Amino acid sequence: MKKILILDDKEAIAKILSMYIGKENEIVWFDNPQKGIVWLDQGNIPDLIITDLNMPIMSGEEFLKYIKQNQLYREIKVIILSSNDSTTEKIRLLEMGAIDYIVKPFNPVELNLRVKKLL
């Protein structure tokens, strides 16, 4: 079973994701990236991270930058989940190291298929 870390300040999004991708994967959810970093620093290495961009305390972009600059974590695949549909923003974050960028509202079935392909 693959482990997926979800970072989103909206619990409803985490529940939807868990419903669709949690059947075949172990889901760990935190409402902000700093909690996710603490979890990672405790020795937990997920197979995939799905992160929102706009969150209080620390943005998904700051988290992505942290992950990709850290020797221990930079190989972890990261999907950005955001309501920002800007092509420029998508390209920038993909260049920063995100493996995919999915726009909210999203189709959960499509997201599930994308996750399966990445894992």
pLDDT of residue 95: 98
So what's the pLDDT on residue 53? 95
- Which pLDDT does position 1 carry in this prediction? 92
Percent of residues, the chain, with pLDDT higher than 70: 100
Q: Is 11 within a domain?
A: yes
116 band by pLDDT with thresholds 50, 70 and 90: very high
Both structure tokens of 107: 């189709």
What's the domain count of the chain?
1
Query: How do residues 22-48 score in pLDDT, each as one tens digit?
Result: 989 999 999 999 999 999 999 999 999
Q: Quick one: pLDDT at residue 7? A: 98
Domain range for 56: 1-25+32-82
Q: Which CA distances in Å does 73 have to 8, 12, 23, 76?
A: 19, 27, 25, 6
Is 4 within a domain?
yes
The mean pLDDT value for 59-79 works out to: 97
- Specify the CATH number for the domain of residue 48: 3.40.50.2300
Q: Is residue 116 part of a domain?
A: no
95 to 37, 64, 79, 100: CA distances (angstroms): 22, 11, 13, 10
Residue 41 within any structural domain of the chain: yes
Is 119 exposed, middle or buried (CB count within 10 Å of its CB: 0-12, 13-18, 19+)? middle
Return d(Cα 41, Cα 33) in angstroms, integer.
12
pLDDT at 58: 96
Question: What is residue 55's predicted lDDT score, i.e. its pLDDT?
Answer: 94
Say if pTM beats, i.e. exceeds, 0.85.
yes
Considering the domain boundaries, does residue 101 fall inside one? no
With the C-alpha atoms ordered 63, 67, 73, 75, is the resulting torsion angle positive or negative?
positive
